[in-house]
Amino acid sequence: MREIGERSSASLVRGRDRHGNFDPEPVPQYDYDPAALAVFEAQQARYKTVAPRASGPSNGGKEASPTRPAG
């Protein structure tokens, strides 16, 4: 899969990102940490602009099979 738009961030739950695929997300200091919420809201705003472009052209609601194209 190819990245479209800006780099992605991630909160790793195990291991390390040895290849630098993601930018680390800030660790909230407490529930509803304003700094962490601001980062989350900015990510959601970016996602809403990138996701429609990333999905590609519509195929009429049909899913493509790995062996048979949608049609």
- Percent helix, percent strand, percent coil in the chain, to nearest 5: 30, 5, 65
Half-sphere exposure of 4 (CA within 13 A, CB side): 12
Residue 24 belongs to some domain of the structure: yes
| pLDDT value of residue 21 | 87
On the 0-12 / 13-18 / 19+ scale of CB atoms within 10 A, 37 is: exposed
pTM of structure: 0.53
Residue 38 belongs to some domain of the structure: yes
**How many distinct structural domains can be found in the chain?**
1
pLDDT tens profile 37-68: 999 998 888 888 876 666 666 555 555 555 55
Residue 59 belongs to some domain of the structure: no
Here the tokens at position 71 are 């049609």
Range of the domain at 20: 9-49
**pLDDT: is 28 or 70 the higher one?**
28
Residue 44 belongs to some domain of the structure: yes
| Spatial CA neighbour of 55 closest among 67, 44, 43, 64 | 64
Q: Assess whether pLDDT exceeds 60 at residue 71.
A: no
